[in-house]
Chains A and B, each alone.
Chain A
């Protein structure tokens, strides 16, 4: 029996990866080239070649929050403190893994695509810890994220294909196939979330906006999409942009009209007791398709 056990384990270990590979192929998943460095990731997901023909869209996007998803308000590297303390923190001398950087699920979703090695997670953690803004600014949610990986949820995107709102077989570089998701709130909802993210060892909760859209806006008669309000005329700027304070204030002001009524009078709860009072009534209405605030 002692001799049989190692043999059985050996067979099992060999069979499981083989089956997993077969399942991947059966689902039509694309095996991408192995990405082993941040430089490789930046290069693979660069939007620079798109800029040549889509300059206006590139310009809109480059001013958006999507072009700097690792930089918070006031240009701070907001992930630094999560690696320093709390459930995602790195111990001294420990190499970072995807379990320390679960925020990339939405802040840099290409990190979780097949073919990105664990070494890239450690390199990203090091860039965050060093405050290497020059590198972090090159990591973004660019064209290939939404027009590639996120444009397909039923299975995997096809190799060498881009996705858009219409089919363009002669598109330079890669053919474009129509994906209905590009005009559907679900493409945004993949990151602007539903609620708790339980996919990782350390579960967490960040954006819940799509949940609000689905469970509060739609049930009360809402019919607009995320794109209707945040991408008018296909504008890829997609506000809010918290780095532009004046513009963000104006956007929120329009989304949250406020009505105020004020009345002054003398209140008399009992004889000889007269109290000057002012009564302020406020009414704030939410015209957005989701709770405010949310993300």
Chain B
């Protein structure tokens, strides 16, 4: 769900009984791919690293639905 407020101020509200209007929509829209680039600085002299990328859906704290998980072994010595 988008991040909702109560239409009385700028504070985000949790619970449909308090929500009334959106403050910000960070959801994934149909036909609109969401692209992100993460630039991660590694400790000095690191030459190889394993990167794990995981996507999960968590509708409530504690209710985690794993969707994707991919692992990549990356070397800096090309």
A-side residues, CB < 8 A to B, are: 73-74, 81-82, 86-88, 103, 196, 202-206, 208, 212, 216-217, 220-222, 242, 245, 248-249, 252-253, 256, 258, 260, 262-267, 275-295
Contacts and interface: CB of A to CB of B under 8 A. Distances in A.
Main secondary structure of the interface of A (DSSP, over half): mixed
A263 B74 contact: yes
A256 B55 contact: yes
A279 B76 contact: no
Contacts of A292: 27-28
Contacts of A204: 16-20
Contact of A291 (B27, B42, B47): B27
30 contacts: A73-B59, A196-B21, A212-B30, A216-B31, A220-B30, A221-B31, A222-B30, A249-B65, A256-B28, A258-B67, A258-B68, A263-B74, A264-B74, A276-B43, A276-B45, A277-B42, A278-B74, A279-B38, A279-B39, A283-B33, A284-B34, A285-B33, A286-B28, A286-B31, A286-B32, A286-B34, A291-B30, A292-B27, A293-B27, A294-B27
A280 B15 contact: no
A293 B21 CA distance: 16
Contacts of A267: 41
Contacts, number: 161
Contacts of B20: 196, 203-205
Nearest to A82: B17
Interface of B: 1-2, 4, 7, 15-21, 25, 27-49, 51, 53, 55, 57, 59-60, 63, 65-68, 70, 72, 74-76, 78
Nearest to B48: A264
Contact of A86 (B17, B51, B68): B17
A249 B33 contact: no
Contacts of B37: 279-282
A253 B66 CA distance: 8
Given A202-B17, A258-B68, A276-B42, A284 B55 contact: yes
A148 B60 CA distance: 33
A249 B66 contact: yes
B30 A217 contact: yes
- Nearest first, the 5 A-B pairs at minimum CB distance are A206-B16, A264-B74, A276-B42, A205-B19, A291-B27
B51 A280 contact: yes
Given A222-B30, A282-B35, A286-B32, A276 B44 contact: yes
A295 B1 contact: yes
